Structure formats: structure tokens, C-alpha cells
Structure 1
């Protein structure tokens, strides 16, 4: 429980007591400072007890892991960023090294564990953390480099993370509130939070949760899983509203994808459990639609449920399964498409009114197909708009505000992969049409927000900086890391320092090669060059060398001195490629960046206190594009993309055009997607608050940090503001 509080909420929990001695306080705060942590209220140590020391070692380990300091980083070139060899000369020496070993030309030299003989005249092994010829790790070179790095001094710069002290008797209330913010979120939460979610549910019990507020379908699946494992079938029956809830529950029970984007495994069911499931399906709305949408999954689960044996008891379910097997299902979607191709506008609008969410997704197409019926379409949409989720209305609002001007449309799927589509498939709507539908959406948003807790007589301050942060609506596949904000958000950065990119991976069962790269683009996203294992240096950028195996855990770095870049370079796109071996998700793997003052070979290559952001790489895809550096605006754009492609042998040269297109579109998200500033203003206006210009005068504050609602308070934002 204390680990969750520290890792997720930056809360350090201590027992109450008579206070720490001056020596204890000095040692403790110094230990934190070495890792880049400091206490927001160090005076509280005067009220803390010594019992905290029982958890001390574990909590220090958690803090190290949070910033990536729990593993060892050994680059290929030990002198990085100094003494990085010339590409052509180094490549020639490697080729000569291969030939010399193959032809047994080397009569003297050090023989490595992998059998390679390295003559001193070819390479000085004291300069390398891995075999310089094969670029494979060897234990002896790895340990020698590790020992040498331990004696190096630390960087003079520190990137601080503030920790807040709370006392043990406050912990439960804080974590119960956190549990509720996770469960009551109106959108997806990160998959990496699921373990915490289950732990907290088991600790606090089901009675601490209001099932009516668990509205997001995938989150509900985890609660259903808990109830199923407790055999609380009556409670499950009350929570299951449709057949898809059942599928998601099975996905949660078997640790498969609750978004149903991947194949679901099904548990073995007892006779009693089969009857419970069939009873849920019998009372489910939209059974035929659910069966058709996930036909393959239902055909498979039908073999477990044996619905024909219970046809008398559950006739509707048995009939639906029979229709599914014989292809006789008529779906809502097929009827929608048929009506769109007809002239029956009235029937189409009545039909779409049965599913407001589908109406919202189709309203543009309906307006385009039937421009003479704009008033009729908008009026029908207005009748159901308050039945839509607020998050969907916010997305639609920005969609219609920008769709006529956009050349591309961006779609992020349930797996976190992104697609950029040409927008010419959607003909422009005229100003009358867009104006009418936007007005209807605005009215719907107002009606949704006004039902929230009133802020009448309260004063609200909103930081304009929130215009640079998107609302974090798609968190399902978001990378777990120090900085968690909406995709496309712009984070301020210190461009006077050296930005040091890093990636770490430890292979699991097979040789694995990841490659850290960075591509350069001009203002129009035209490719200007790159730095990677194929090109170790460019003006202002240098690579630490390519390591092609990771039995001990491998690391690669790239230093970027922004003031030394070519004046033409306006964007940088760091990337991590899977060249061979394990997928990101199948091994220990993370990346991030540091802010370095002393970027020299005599300073620690990885210094935990300089880490700005560390994030896990566990998505699916051929390569990851975690962020973009916008040089003119001095900002980091959080892209968090995992891009599909060929399974192996990926590199920056083969993806430079695709990366440019993806990153250029995500960089526009603060203009094309809901932003945090607008969300804050909507809540302030429709909940009756008074806006003030000074945060000290406000009862409720919105900002980047130290506010009532912060840009990275993802779960709180999704549960209380959406």
C-alpha cells in the first residue's frame, strides 16, 4: 500500500512520533537528493517516528525504479560522449576484426568469452563496454565498464521530484480516494494501473465502491472479475448491463485484452457458472448486436456455455446463439448502412436515435449525404445528445471546429497504434451545417457539466499554460512513466542543457537488439538526417554505440546539444526500433531522457538525479516514437506512439517519412483535440464559479502542478471533470 502511494501519488508515508534527530534528517534528505527527490514539507520529519526505517530500503528501491536507477547502464563506448569513433574507420576495423578471426590471422590479443580475439593494435578493450567487433555483450567487459563508471562523478544538475509526507493514519483515506478515482474514471486508464487497482479493491472491499459510478466498460470488467472470483453472482447480475460486459469480464479473468482488440481466452466453467452467465445474457439489451460485433468470440464461448441445453430456461439466448451459428443475424450497423444509402431520412434519424453514441459518430456523414435536411438532422441529434458521454461531446466539438480545415484525420486504436488518413473522403460541410451542430454540441456539454457538483460562490483560477495540454482521454495503452499527460501535450524544457536520451533493455530468452535513433526535420517536416547505429555523429548529436545483445541488460544513449544543431533543424523525433529478438512487452525495457549540465566522458553516463522522464516500453509495434522535440517553441511534445510495420530489422532510414507524417499530426493535437484549459473553463462556467486572475484568491485551481487539478492528475481529471 505504501508502495502504491509513493509510486503513483508521490506520497511518502511515515508513522507519527517524536521526530527525527538532526543527523537522521540530514542523512535521509541527502539520500533523496542523490536521486533527485526532495520533500515538499521537510519540517514534518519533526513529527515522524523512527518506525519508518523499517520500510526504508524498500521505499528507496521504489524511488530508484521510478526514475530508472534500479538497473546498470553500460554503453558500448565507455568514453561517451567523448572519443566516439569515426563511422567509416570503426566500420573498417570491425570488418577487419571479423576477417581476422575467421581466417585466424591474429596471433596475439585478448580472447573474449564469445571466442573473438581482439588485438591491442585493432581495439583497446579499455574503451569498450561490449565486444567492439560483434557488439555483443560479454560479462568481463560489462563488469569492467560497470566498475569504471562507479568511480565517475555525478552531474552538477538535478531534476527535482517533490515528495509529500503523510502519516500512516492518513494513508487509507488517500488510497481509497485514489481507488475511487480509478474506478470512476469516465475514460480508459493505463493498463499498468490494473495491478494497483486489483490490490486496492482487495484491500478496501467491494462495499467501499459505488457500482453506479463505475461507468467505463473496461474498468467495470475488473470489478466484475473481483466479484466473480468472490462468487458474488447476484452482485454481478446487477452490474452487467449487456452481453459485452460478460466478454470483458472473461477477458479480465484470463488476463487477456479487456478492450477486446485481441483474442480473448475463456475460463473453464462449472454447470452453475454456465447458468449464471446465460442468465446474464438472457436479460442483456442488444444481444444480437453484441453477438454480431464479436462473432468469433461468441462462437467460441458458445462451446463453453452449451446454450442449447438450457433453451427452455433461457430461450432468447439460445435463439441468438442459433442465429449466430447459422448467419441469420440482422445488425444495427447493417441497417444503418442500408438507410444511409436510401432516401428515408426520417427512418434513418429515428433508427440512429436508438444509439446516441453511433449517432454522434455518424452525424457528419448524415449531414454530408443529406445537406437539405440539416435542420431535421440537428434537431434529431439534439434530442439524444445528453445521452452521450461528455468525453465524446468534447471530441466532437473539436472535430467539427477543425474538420473543414484539416488535410488529415488521426485515429488512435485500442492497441495504442496510430493511423493518419486523408481527409478528402469527408466532403466539407458548409458554415450553416457546422454552426448548427456545434451549437447543439455546446448545449449538450452545458447540460452534462451543470449536473456536476455546484461551484457557486467559489473562485476558480486557471493557468493559461493548460492550453498546451490535451485532455488525457486515451490512456489504455499509455506508457507508464514519471510524466503522464494526454498525447500531444507540450511540456516545457530547458534547452540550454544537453538532452541525453536513453534506452535500457534486458533480453528474455533470445538475443535482442534495440536501436535508439533520432531523426531531424525542418519546419515543414522534411527529412534532414539522423543519428543512429548507422550514423554515430551529426552536428550537435552523438550516439553511444550499438549494442546487439542484452543478457546483462544493455543501454544506448544519444546526446543532443540543441544550440549546436543546424539552423534548419526545427523538429527532432527520437525513436526506439526493434531490430531483433523480443517484443517490447516481453522483456524488461524502458527509455527516457535526462537534462545534463556536464555531458563529458568523466561524468556518470546515467545519473538518476538528472532524469526528467523515464517511461516503460511495453506497447505492441515495430518501433516506438515516444516524443518530439519542438525546437522553436522549446517544448517536448508527448507522442507516445507504437507504430506497426515489419516485425524485425527496422531502422530509422526505412521509417523517416512515416514518422514525419505521424509526428506532424500529433504535434497539432492541442488545436484539434480537447485541451485542459477549455475543459477547466467549461467546468468553471457551467458549475457557477467566479474566475479570478490570482491563484492565491481561488478556492479551486487548475494548472501544471501544485493545484487542485493538475495537468498530470489523469485519474482525478477523468473521474471528476469529465
Structure 2
């Protein structure tokens, strides 16, 4: 069990649980392990290397085997990355010359000649029918023979793995951290929480589980072990039913409820009964998910359990047989009558909803008295609002002061994005500033005193992780809206996918835009090379996995923005394939090496989104000439098939403008609220001797053991509850 969960600890914490085994002379094996890690961009900390050196060789080898498999998958090196053009990025042909060569080869093929001649007679040739197009023409081993070894460079990524506590303690601590998170988790983290909740059901539990989705996952483990359930709304029970059926606990998608065992049915009905008995007004919450409750009732058979009459009331409301007026309908009635003060008075009983409605209330208030009442209400209830809501509203109010043009960008919890006209009236400036001051004061009050604050400057422009759904899982990824420096001469994108049941064709492309978001050029299978870079060639099926690459020389790029994208041309979507991921590498000009070199990988993220065009991030050249990454994690709906960079240039540019021009709340903002005794910008060299609160992209070695360490893996801990 412990070894099964060790990869979760490594991925989430960058720590290896304290290796155990007989004492011995493991120094040589430990150094070999360290060298193997460095070949894929990881390294043992000095403390961890010392620990391993004191164990037997066998114990070191066991740890190495488990760890290497985990980190290779983290960086995308667990698969073979072949390329269509064997010498890529050298000797990439002109696009039209390449297509003509494929036609000539088909005409020389007796089996293909007739079909090609028939197509030529119509004036149009389908590239996918040509035998040499879209399929690897050489083996992976043959491709390796065409590339020299990578030359090590100081800029290569090196992720340090640190010595952790014993395995049980690390697993327990990770469970408590995920379950007690004050912000929603991403899909993969929520899945990991489910695994950990099962393993830790009999161990220590978090004092509070503020996020409802996390609570549902923990309750699923509790229901299986017969432990008490954490329920205080009827929606908590619905989420639990979804979790038991392996459905969507976010309730964004309908769950197909399974046949439930009698003990599970009894637990769910008893939970509903106790919630409604304690607060009958909570029946009003049923309206938001009426259809889900009706389908759940068909599985629970509440009529068979007359001892829980309040549970039956839930399904009566869902069917419309019992009236329970919703809170939202009461608010709408007051606003519809122009009674803003009355609506504010009612919303004070639901502080989170009051703050989420601020923009509408500010626009609806017509008198100074109404505006004063609204600000006073926010001052009164702010202490009872979740920190992530305060931060979201603070960011919204800040951006409402800016003239962002006539369009608004919307992004849902799954990363699907769209743009629409902004027809809202401005909000009153004076009240907006008063409300910002209220929110800043409340957030400042909640933040713990950090003592000596040690800051990595590169982390200051990272967006606050208000939701795990605003970031894809992977290595080196940052929340949507974050900005991070990009240092290197060569920028190389990669995508890998492996189809499950159907022939699947993904196309990696890069769109280059100028400062006005107009197209300068693009690289794709329809334009294989430009002065600035090369495409590795189109692969049109992936039964055994396939990769595509784009290579760019940053100093030669004519443009201000580089927007890599993955287009679904045909086949299985990003959520259907067996595996798919995107990433980028940075290299110096003379490093050479294979098309994919794991220690040059700066970011690798999973592609798991609802659309057919993936936009993981963009790159922007600043006024100082330096390139920086702007993290997007977005998906466009695209077309049902045949998506190409040429067809989505306008929508991508419009969406990018909206994201780039919106100002995010960042670590810089939160640090400005902290009452630190001393603040030091870390220069990457020696760390202070005493305890610090370190906030950075990667934990330095040598920090005092009593230090608090915050990196992207646990940055959600900065969000006050």
C-alpha cells in the first residue's frame, strides 16, 4: 500500500518518503541513482543523497526503480517520441515540395497508383490517401541514430527531490492537505484525494473540509467504512451519491446513478432526513438540481423508508409536489421591484452570494443611501466569506475600473472559453474603491504573520491559485493568468497522444501575432518551415502513440505573441484518448540532442478538456525584449472535425487579447498584504540561517527545518480560509 501511494507523494510534494532498509554501503548506487535522475532533469538533495548512501545497495536500487518511473512520467519521458522528418529540426522540406514528393512516391507504388491518378484527374489529392504521408517512415532507433548527444548547459532544468518523512506520515499529510484545501482541486487532484481518502479513512482527519467537492470524495470513503458522514446541505448528499456512482461531484455534468446497495441507500436517505429536519428551509436548495434529485429518487426508493419523512420531502420538491421557495427567487423578486436595499438585506444571510452579486447590485443602486447600505453590508459580512471568494471579487472590482473594450471573456470550470459583447454599465468609482479597501483589510487580517519572508522574484507574477480547475495537472504548470520568464535561444513545443479505439489525428501548430493581435505567420502541417522555425511533420494516426514538435528561434521571431495550439483534426477528443499531453522545452543554440530531451523540458501538462482546440499557454515579448509565458489552460469548441490553425486565427486572437489585458491577482499582491518582519528577494544563492517563510517556484536546499515552504505544488495554502 505504501509503495503504491509513493508516486502521489513525489508528484505532489517533490519529496521521496524516507527510504528504509538495512544499513550498508549504498554510496555508489546512490550516486548512480542521482546521475540517472539528472539525465531526466531531476536531482537528489544533499540530505536525501546522504540518507541513501547509508543504506544497502538493494534498498537504494528499489527506491531508484520506483522513483525513476514516476519522474519520467512526470516529464513525459515514459513514452518514445519519434518524428516524421528523421533529421528534425534539420532538413525539413518546403511544404509544397514535400507534398509533391509524397505524390511521386504514391505514383511509383503499384497499389496506390490508380487511386492517385483518379484524384489527380479531379485536380484535388487527399494527402491522407498517400502511403508515405502521416505515418512514420523509420523506427525510433533509426531516428536516434540521426541525432548527436545533448550537450549539457547551465540552463537545463534541474528539479530537486527532497528527503521526506516516513511513508505513512507523508501519505497522511498529503491527504490532510488535499482534503482540507480552501480552494477547489483540479480533476486529477480530486482523483488522488479519492485514493488517499480510502487509505486514510481510519487515520487523522482534517478539522474542516471547506470545499464541497472534497467533502463528497471524503464522504465516499466514509460511507464504505461505516464512518459518520459530513453533511449540512441536501446538495452534499447529492454530491455523495454522484461520488458513489463514480460521477461528477462538481455537478457540472449529469451523473448516471448506479444501482445502490441497501446500506448506501439507507445512509443517503438518513443524511437527507437529518439535514432537512434540522433546517427545513434547505429544501429550497433542491431547485438548483431538480432533475438530478428526481433521477436519484428513482434509485433510492424513499417510499420504502417511512422512518425518514424529511428525505421524502426532498424528492417531492424535485417533482413539484411540494413548494419550497428558493432563495434566488426571493432575491430576484426584490431586484425586479427595484428594491436594492431589500435585496441587500436578504443577501446578508448568505454572505458569499452577496459578494458574488456585488457588480449587479452596484449597477442597480440608484441613490447614495442604497450604495452606502451596500458597502455597509459588505463590511458587516466580509468576515464570514471564504477567502477565495474575497479574492475573486477583489480581482473583479479591480478590472471593472479598466476600459477593456466592448468584449468580455468567459471561462468555465472546465477551461472552455468564449467571448461576448460587454453591455454592462460602469460601476460607481467611489463605492468600488471603498469596497476594495474593505476586501484588502479583511484579507490582511486573515493572513498569518510570515516572519522573515524569503521570495523568489520569479514567483511574484504567478496568479493566485483560486481554483485547481484553473490549471492543468503536470510538471512546471502555473495557474491561468500567471506570467513566468522564458530564458533560452530555442523554444520547442511538443504534443504526444495515443488513441484508444479510433484513428486519431492531432495537429500541433503555432500562431505568431503582432502587437495588435494580427497574424504574422504560423507553423503547422500546412506550413512546415519559416525563417524562425520548423515543424516536425504531420502524424495522422497513433495506435502506438505519436508526437509532433515545433522548433522556434526566439531571437528571429517576427512578432509579439507566440500561441501554440493543439487542434483535433479527426478521431477521439482530448478526454477520450488513452493519453495526451503538451509541453515545451528550452535549449541553447548549440546543445543539439534528440527532438525530445527530458532535462530541457520546462513544462508538461495533460490535455484533458472539453473542446477541440487546446490553448495551453502563450508567449509574449515584452518591451524589454524578453519573452514571458502567459498561462491559459483554455479549450475552444472548434469544429466537429478538421480543425486547423488557419480557421481559428481570429477567435484565438480575440480570446488571447481578453486574457492578456485582464489583470490577475498575483503572489505580488498577497505578499504586499503580509505583515513580514523582514522581506528578502532570494538571489538563488545562500539562504538565511534562521527559519523563513519561503515562496518560490522551487524549494532551495539548506532552508532551516522550521521554515514554511510554499511552491506551486502547495501554493493553494496561501489562500486564506
The two structures share one fold, judged by TM-score above 0.5: yes
- Identify which of 318, 330, 333 aligns with 2:312: 318
Distance 1:605 1:653 in 2: 26
Shift of 1:319: 3.4
Instruction: Give the equivalent residue in structure 2 for 1:584.
Output: 574
Conserved? CA contact 2:696–2:711, under 8 Å? no
Shift of 1:102: 8.0
Distance 1:324 1:527 in 2: 52
What pairs up with 1:683-698 in 2 under 5 angstroms?
Answer: 684-685=674-675, 689-693=676-680, 696=688
Conserved? CA contact 2:495–2:549, under 8 Å? yes
Change (3 A) 1:32 1:459: closer
Mark the runs of 5 or more structure 1 residues left unpaired by the alignment. 107-114, 118-129
Query: What RMSD, in angstroms, separates the aligned Cα atoms of the two structures?
Result: 2.8
Conserved? CA contact 2:462–2:483, under 8 Å? yes
Shift of 1:277: 1.9
- 3-state SS of 2:582 partner: strand
Change (3 A) 1:278 1:204: closer
What pairs up with 1:105-504 in 2 under 5 angstroms?
Answer: 105=113, 133=131, 135-137=133-135, 141-143=137-139, 145-149=140-144, 152-157=147-152, 159-166=156-163, 170-210=166-206, 212-232=207-227, 235-236=228-229, 239-284=230-275, 285=279, 286-310=281-305, 313-326=307-320, 328-372=323-367, 373-405=370-402, 406-407=404-405, 408-423=407-422, 425-449=423-447, 458-476=451-469, 478-495=471-488, 497-504=489-496
Q: Which moved more, 1:586-595 or 1:323-332?
A: 323-332
Distance 1:104 1:202 in 2: 57
Conserved? CA contact 2:82–2:143, under 8 Å? no
Shift of 1:94: 3.0
Q: Which moved more, 1:388-397 or 1:276-285?
A: 276-285
1:63 aligns with 2:61: no
- 3-state SS of 1:468 partner: coil
- Identify which of 10, 24, 39 aligns with 1:6: 10
1:616 aligns with 2:606: yes
Change (3 A) 1:261 1:21: closer
Conserved? CA contact 2:182–2:720, under 8 Å? no
Conserved? CA contact 1:513–1:578, under 8 Å? yes
Distance 1:301 1:23 in 2: 60
Instruction: Give the equivalent residue in structure 2 for 1:571.
Output: 561
Shift of 1:104: 6.0
Distance 1:277 1:24 in 2: 53
Instruction: Give the equivalent residue in structure 1 for 2:549.
Output: 557
Aligned residues between the structures: 676
1:657 aligns with 2:650: yes
1:636 aligns with 2:641: no
Conserved? CA contact 1:417–1:621, under 8 Å? yes
Shift of 1:268: 1.9
Distance 1:346 1:116 in 2: 74
Distance 1:205 1:306 in 2: 29
Change (3 A) 1:499 1:227: same
Residue by residue, what CA displacement relative to the aligned partner does 1:371-410 show, whole Å, maximum 9, x if unpaired?
Answer: 3111011112222222211111111112112203133443
1:53 aligns with 2:43: no
- 3-state SS of 2:297 partner: helix
Mark the runs of 5 or more structure 2 residues left unpaired by the alignment. 118-127, 683-687, 701-706
Change (3 A) 1:544 1:36: same
Distance 1:490 1:346 in 2: 41
Shift of 1:133: 4.2
1:718 aligns with 2:710: no
Change (3 A) 1:382 1:23: closer
Shift of 1:647: 2.6
Conserved? CA contact 1:466–1:711, under 8 Å? no
Shift of 1:260: 0.7
Distance 2:94 2:214 in 1: 53
Distance 2:660 2:24 in 1: 49
Change (3 A) 1:304 1:148: closer
Change (3 A) 1:681 1:705: farther
Distance 1:525 1:342 in 2: 44
Conserved? CA contact 1:498–1:599, under 8 Å? no
Conserved? CA contact 1:466–1:704, under 8 Å? yes
Residue by residue, what CA displacement relative to the aligned partner does 1:623-661 show, whole Å, maximum 9, x if unpaired?
Answer: 111111112342111211122232321111111111112
Instruction: Give the equivalent residue in structure 2 for 1:83.
Output: 91
Shift of 1:366: 1.2
Conserved? CA contact 2:201–2:225, under 8 Å? no
Distance 1:171 1:18 in 2: 18
Shift of 1:52: 2.3
Residue by residue, what CA displacement relative to the aligned partner does 1:345-374 show, whole Å, maximum 9, x if unpaired?
Answer: 332122212211111111221121113111
Distance 2:595 2:76 in 1: 13
Shift of 1:609: 2.1
Instruction: Give the equivalent residue in structure 1 for 2:502.
Output: 510
- 3-state SS of 2:614 partner: strand
